[in-house]
A and B are shown apart, each in its own frame.
Chain A
Amino acid sequence: MPMGGVTKRINAIKFALLSPDEIRRMSATKIITADTYDDDGFPIDMGLMDSHLGVIEPGLRCKTCGGKVDECPGHFGHIDLAMPVIHVGYVKEIKKLLQSTCKSCGRLLLTRQQAQEFMRDLEAQEELGADSTEISEIAKETAKEAQKRARCPHCDTEQSKITLDKPTTFREDGHKLTPREVRERLERIPNDDLRAFNIEPEAARPEWMVLTALLVPPVTVRPSITLESGDRSEDDLTHKLVDVLRINQRLRENRDAGAPQLIVEDLWELLQYHVTTYFDNQTSGIPPARHRSGRPLKTLVQRLKGKEGRFRSNLSGKRVNFSARTVISPDPVLSINEVGVPIEAARELTVPIRVQAYNMEIVKDWVKRGPTPVSTNGQFVPGVNYVIRPDGRRIRVTDKNAETVAETVETGWVVERQLVDGDIVLFNRQPSLHRMSMMAHEVRVMKEKTFRFNLAVCPPYNADFDGDEMNLHVLQSEEARAEAKILMRVQEHILSPRFGGPVIGGIHDHITGSFLLTYRDSRFNHEETTFILSKIGLKEIPKPAKTDKDGTEWWTGKQIFSLVLPPDLNIAFKASIGPKGVKDLKQLTAEDAWVEVHEGQLKSGTIDENAIGAFKGKILDKIARDYGSERAKQFIDESTKLALGAIMVRGFTTGIDDEDIPEEAKRQITDVLRQAEEKVQDFVEAYRRGELEQMPGRSLEETLEVEAMKVLGRARDQAGQIAGKHLGMENPSVIMARSGARGSMLNLSQMAGCIGQQAVRGERLSRGYWNRTLPHFKKGDLGAQAKGFVKSSYKSGLHPTEYFFHAMGGREGLVDTAVRTSRSGYMQRRLINALEDLKVKEDGTVRNTADTIIQFRFGEDGVDPSRSVQGTAVDIDDILQEVLGEEPGWRERMAEKEMTGYGLTEKDMIVELEEEEETEEEPPEE
């Protein structure tokens, strides 16, 4: 691309119709025979594969331009149609023109004065630079006005009604109009009247919409392929053109021989069918033309349209070199900035290195190694696959020629070196919904055959390891590498531009591990401490927090965690384990749920999802904001390893016996559920007797439903609470749920207590059979059991009817997610297509490619959400805190602020939404 921006600007694009004359003029040959090749396999003259149309076989020369395969662009031919046929692409326009012009004189059905008025309007608009949609709107109005006339204002002929029988048959008062008649009428429309329709007669005479000659695309557009068996297989377009030629031939013969009108008409219609499907084989109203195998043919429109069409598949998206794809797996020892690449992939993926005087020695050394070098201790060593000479010739390096090629390498050559540790690559997981779906990683060449990365990077990619695959692209230029390293590195994306919080951070065992490390007075002996600290490569052990009388030394988990915090960090917030809605400091402290970091020391509180989790991690957020991405990266790397160490020392497991509760509790739950059922029954009876008190704005039936839902909902909560009493913080499932590692207390109470009411569209189940959900119940039964209340727990197992109800509720969830994803996908596509070429310029304005202003300051306030604090550029509270220090009552103030939230920023909305979702069933994954 030339430097300095746009060298030519497109002012306008003009679309025109091809006239029959022009088709014949641009045609290299007329096609008359449906045969393609003769017995010797040579193209037949004036056949569909005529060598005037270009060449597809190497060695042959084009008869039109004399070029060989790569030199000849291909040339069009044409078929003279025996009878005219309508072009499907223009039926709408033809209909409009027929309806708004006179059947006998062809004039526009408007008085001279009316016509002039419309023309003036059109011209005025054009002068003002109105866009094409506005202009076509006026033309449409003109046509509409003309269609209203029953009598021609020029020759006084009465007009008859023109209708369109889809796809291509026109009728006048029910009588069929042949394409020839249609064409004759279009021919009669005078040039001057066409301008009122916004049609330029020089570019598009309307009669050209009825074809008398058909353009035949070059063979390069529809190449035939030779199968292994030696048979030729023709392109779908060629097949279709063969059909057209055959029928055209028969039609001509029959017409010339004076065959009965009926036969000629049938053939004519058949020709119309073939020409129509040649353009679009999915035209509604006619059966698609099929291959012998029964597969519908892919004709012109099908080549362009849709996801697999030319535009979306070949022009908006392309296949690339220097890329790899494989299954992914986790590796917590890698930094978040790294990606593990299998040796096999590293051998194929290369980085071009230009040979210079300064690197001559080392480059020659690489080349000398050949394509598969291994070090003496069996480690991966990069080799060279290709060497590129200044004239562009590529030399493949093999073990045999490596020595000699290495000798010939000179400055100015390019050597394609295999991947080594530290190379910058792009890593991507589809669907690429936001910019964090494609980030730059540093390569670590490793054994085994999967891509590996740190688990903290799962959330931005939305990746898990149940078989997910990801793509990797190797950058090929120095600029690209620099840009990727500065803008696309993983650490630069810790804070999301979507809601200003961290998208990269702890998940699952990372959070559990931090919990085990820091909960209450969790402490570790010398051996354990050294084990954990060795994970982050710390060589010196801090002073023990406590020494027993017998000399045993203890280090607290809080002390160990503080080692990875910045020494001057101050922060206070509520931990995830703290009960919802509680803001009483005493109660929070009692549960070790009030996290306080003072001068880099964790004074109190448990490190869990609210501290280091993706999306919610407050410490992570603060470090990324105040200390920069490099420090945040270091914090994530180290805290991952600490958590890993802690969980290895303590050990962690979960099983269904985590949800064991005592017999007494089970009895209580049964009681609660029975009472609830009885209460529902009472409501039902009251309803039957007509004694149910109607709620305002609701019908009697609705009142009953609402009351029943309320009672049963409360019953499930109570069952959950009873079960919850026996599930304490020493229970692994509870640890996971409360710390935010995985699952929720609702999940647990559904396993231990009661699953609860199943719903479809937010209502109790009611459909299936006449007046009942299943034949196991009486007709009209409105009780809890009959309408989808599941008393059992997941652990105890469901009764058959309950199982069925549960499947009904579950199905709705699945349908919902399927519908949601497809709809939001389409919405996203439209949005991206509309916004893709907008960019923020240096002056803070948002511009499009024409350099016109879209926004005067980006986002109207010029604030980058990923660098803002709750949507503002400066966090006054935080600065005050830092300046004033700990004035009396600061804890209460912080706790207050923590609970009230900051108004509806998206960050808070995410938390809210997630809480809302908890009440619903989680859909099964993959």
Chain B
Amino acid sequence: MRFNVLEHKLVPEHRLLSPDEADEVLKGLKVTRDQLPKIRKTDPVIRVLEKIHGPIEEGRIVRVLRLNQTAGVSEAFRLVIGR
């Protein structure tokens, strides 16, 4: 890995949720896992997160905190999928 993409200013904050947190989020949103937006296991961000947390299996959920000039801070979640 050349560098940590999370440190780039254009990449929003990504945090891996623990299984409990993930369930909480799903309960709060009243959705099932497959209704969430996806992120690939091969995504550079997931690779960085794997450096921290060790291997991340499919089905885990990542929280994305975006800072937007007009909309302010917004929260999103992504489901980790294969390849």
Contact = CB atoms under 8 A, between A and B. Distances in A.
B35 A856 contact: no
B76 A130 contact: no
A871 B70 contact: yes
Interface stretch (A389-397, A439-447, A535-543, A847-855): A847-855
A825 interface: no
Contact of B82 (A128, A843, A861): A128
B72 A861 contact: yes
Contacts of B37: 852-854
Interface string A845-869: 1000001111111011101000000
B81 A856 contact: no
Contacts of B82: 128
Interface in A810-864: 843, 845, 851-857, 859-861, 863
A852 B70 contact: no
B35 A861 contact: no
Given A845-B29, A851-B35, A857-B74, A128 B66 contact: no
A856 B65 CA distance: 12
B70 A861 contact: yes
B75 A859 contact: no
Nearest to A865: B70
A468 to B, nearest CB: 35
Nearest to B35: A852
Contacts of A860: 66, 68, 71, 74
B29 to A, nearest CB: 7
B83 interface: yes
A856 B70 contact: no
A863 B74 CA distance: 12
A193 to B, nearest CB: 25
A843 B30 CA distance: 10
A128 B70 contact: no
Given A859-B71, A860-B71, A853 B66 contact: no
Given A852-B35, A853-B29, A853-B36, A128 B81 contact: yes
A856 B74 contact: yes
A125 B82 CA distance: 9
Nearest to A852: B35
B25 to A, nearest CB: 10
B83 A856 contact: no
B31 interface: yes
A860 B68 CA distance: 9
Contacts of B34: 852
Interface string B48-83: 000000000000000000101011101111000111
Interface string A166-197: 00000000000000000000000000000000
B31 A861 contact: no
Nearest to B82: A128
Nearest to B71: A861
Interface string A41-64: 000000000000000000000000
A855 B76 CA distance: 8
Contacts of B30: 843
B80 to A, nearest CB: 12
B31 to A, nearest CB: 6
Contacts of B36: 852-853
Nearest to B34: A852
A851 B34 CA distance: 10
Interface residues of A, number: 17
Interface string B17-46: 000000000000111001111000000000
A75 B25 CA distance: 55
Nearest to B31: A853
Given A128-B81, A128-B82, A845-B29, A856 B71 contact: no
B32 to A, nearest CB: 9
B15 to A, nearest CB: 15
A863 B71 CA distance: 8
A859 B68 CA distance: 10
B13 to A, nearest CB: 14
Contacts of A861: 68, 70-72, 74
A130 B41 CA distance: 13
Interface in A862-885: 863, 871
B77 A856 contact: yes
Nearest to B74: A860
Contacts of A857: 74
Given A128-B83, A843-B30, A856 B72 contact: no
Interface string A697-710: 00000000000000
Contacts of A843: 29-30
A855 to B, nearest CB: 8
Nearest to B30: A843
A860 B34 CA distance: 21
Point out which of A130, A854, A855, A861 has the most chain B C-beta atoms below 10 A from its C-beta. A861
A37 B57 CA distance: 70
Contacts of A854: 37
Contacts of A871: 70
B37 to A, nearest CB: 6
B64 to A, nearest CB: 9
Contacts of B83: 125, 128, 130
Nearest to B70: A871
Nearest to A848: B35
A775 B19 CA distance: 81
A125 B75 CA distance: 30
Contacts of A853: 29, 31, 35-37
Contacts of B70: 861, 871
A858 to B, nearest CB: 10
Nearest to A863: B71
A856 B75 CA distance: 7
A862 to B, nearest CB: 9
A282 B22 CA distance: 55
A735 B51 CA distance: 69
Contacts of B66: 860
A856 B26 CA distance: 12
Interface string A712-732: 000000000000000000000
A137 to B, nearest CB: 12
A852 B33 CA distance: 9
A426 to B, nearest CB: 33
A852 to B, nearest CB: 5
A840 to B, nearest CB: 15
A451 B34 CA distance: 51
A852 B76 CA distance: 13
B39 to A, nearest CB: 13
A339 B58 CA distance: 58
A26 B8 CA distance: 62
Nearest to B76: A856
Nearest to B66: A860
B11 to A, nearest CB: 16
Contacts of A845: 29
A841 to B, nearest CB: 10
A168 B29 CA distance: 55
29 contacts: A128-B82, A128-B83, A130-B83, A843-B29, A843-B30, A845-B29, A851-B35, A852-B34, A852-B35, A852-B36, A852-B37, A853-B31, A853-B36, A853-B37, A854-B37, A855-B76, A856-B29, A856-B76, A856-B77, A857-B74, A859-B71, A860-B68, A860-B74, A861-B68, A861-B70, A861-B71, A861-B72, A861-B74, A871-B70
Given A856-B29, A863-B71, 12 more contacts: A125-B83, A128-B81, A130-B83, A843-B30, A852-B35, A853-B31, A853-B35, A856-B77, A859-B71, A860-B74, A861-B70, A861-B71
The 8 closest A-B pairs by CB, nearest first: A861-B71, A860-B74, A860-B71, A128-B82, A852-B35, A856-B76, A871-B70, A853-B35
Interface of A: 125, 128, 130, 843, 845, 851-857, 859-861, 863, 871
Interface of B: 29-31, 34-37, 66, 68, 70-72, 74-77, 81-83
